[in-house]
């Protein structure tokens, strides 16, 4: 009996000690960003290599199963794609013309910042958030490869998210569909600004909300492109977020809100591209030169 009491006392002390440790870590990590450092290194030698291994195994299995896909399908697709190429070539020609015109106009306005050519590096997604509440994921490149917090992450031609944490060979990315994500966006055609918010209740439908768009005379139609805006201090300008799928005037009659269908398929994200310059670095070096 006495022994039992001792162990339960011991458990109590251990409980109090570990809780205190947790609270201390929380307080420390609020005030010092470096607190997580040793833990990140520990993760780097333990779970990260294993995650990479599992990921490679998964990719291999997917490859094998895809190879069994019928050749017929490939042929049919090939034919379809050929037709598409012809069509696109036509479009490309007209676009080329417009591009030259744009270049001339740009020169005219001395707008020589070319946002289309950001330098990027690729990375694999190796792990996803362990819970159901947030949409973050881990990639297999970290501070040793030059990844920094606040770098933008894209996939295909659309915005995926932003780097929120870096370890030696891994980083954590918060995707734009995450409930705590806010992106300053704008309508491509009219440059009306809005806030694009991730919403947990919309994740199932694969949609995003946008809010606080000025209710002016510029019409915003369904299918309009929303890109990252120039006033955002974290996201670089002109990355496609998605297409407007619904828009309505708010009850205050001053703003509009609605829904966006993102261009990126967040469910099957395997490879992403990271823009290796943060917005702060870009503006920090370019703004003083202009003034």
Q: Report the interface residues with other proteins, using CB under 8 A.
A: 7-8, 10-11, 14-15, 18-19, 21-26, 28-30, 35-36, 39-40, 42-43, 46-47, 50-51, 54-55, 58, 126-134, 136, 138, 164-165, 167, 170, 172, 179-180, 200-201, 203-204
Please, which residue, 139 or 241, has the CB nearer to other proteins?
Answer: 139
Render 121-189 in DSSP notation, one character per residue: EEEEEEEE-SSSS--EEEES--GGGT--TT-EEEETTEEEEEEEEE-SS-EEEEETTSTT-EEEEEETT
Please, which residue, 42 or 280, has the CB nearer to other proteins?
Answer: 42
Least distance CB 173 / other proteins (angstroms): 10
Please, which residue, 40 or 279, has the CB nearer to other proteins?
Answer: 40
Collect all residues with Cβ–Cβ distance below 8 Å to 165 and sequence separation of at least 6.
Answer: 36, 40, 149, 171, 172
Please, which residue, 8 or 70, has the CB nearer to other proteins?
Answer: 8
The label of the residue with tokens 């990844």 reads: 147
Least distance CB 177 / other proteins (angstroms): 11
Tokens read off for 59? 């990719």
Least distance CB 66 / other proteins (angstroms): 15
Q: For CA atoms 146, 147, 151, 152, give the dihedral sign.
A: positive
How many other C-beta atoms are found inside a 10 Å radius of the C-beta of residue 28? Answer: 13
Least distance CB 121 / other proteins (angstroms): 20
Least distance CB 22 / other proteins (angstroms): 4
Render 232-288 in DSSP notation, one character per residue: -SSSPTT-EEEEEEEEEE-TTSSEEEEEEEESS-STT--EEEEESS-HHHHHHHHHH
Least distance CB 105 / other proteins (angstroms): 44
Please, which residue, 248 or 268, has the CB nearer to other proteins?
Answer: 268
Please, which residue, 118 or 170, has the CB nearer to other proteins?
Answer: 170
């Amino acid at each position: 009996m006495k022994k039992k009491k001792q162990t339960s006392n011991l458990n109590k002390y251990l409980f109090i000690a570990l809780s205190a440790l947790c609270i201390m870590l929380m307080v420390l990590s609020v005030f010092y960003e470096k607190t997580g450092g040793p833990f990140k290194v520990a993760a780097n030698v333990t779970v990260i290599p294993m995650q990479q291994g599992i990921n490679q195994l998964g990719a291999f299995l997917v490859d094998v199963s895809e190879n069994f896909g019928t050749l017929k399908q490939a042929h049919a697709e090939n034919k379809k794609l050929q037709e598409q190429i012809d069509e696109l070539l036509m479009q490309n020609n007209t676009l080329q013309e417009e591009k030259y015109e744009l270049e001339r106009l740009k020169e005219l306005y001395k707008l020589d910042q070319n946002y289309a050519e950001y330098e990027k590096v690729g990375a694999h997604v190796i792990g996803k958030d362990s819970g159901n509440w947030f949409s973050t994921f881990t990639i297999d490149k970290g501070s040793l490869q030059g990844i920094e917090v606040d770098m933008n992450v894209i996939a295909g031609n659309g915005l995926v998210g932003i780097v929120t944490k870096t370890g030696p060979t891994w980083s954590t990315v918060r995707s734009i569909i995450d409930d705590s994500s806010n992106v300053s966006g704008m309508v491509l055609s009219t440059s009306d600004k809005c806030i694009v918010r991730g919403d947990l209740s919309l994740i199932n439908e694969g949609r995003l909300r946008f809010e606080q768009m000025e209710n002016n005379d510029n019409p915003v139609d369904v299918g309009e492109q929303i890109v990252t805006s120039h006033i955002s201090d974290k996201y670089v300008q002109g990355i496609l977020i998605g297409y407007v799928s619904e828009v309505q005037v708010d009850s205050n009659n001053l703003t509009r809100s609605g829904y966006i269908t993102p261009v990126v398929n967040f469910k099957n994200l395997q490879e992403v591209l990271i823009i290796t310059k943060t917005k702060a670095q870009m503006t920090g070096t370019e703004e003083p030169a202009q003034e």
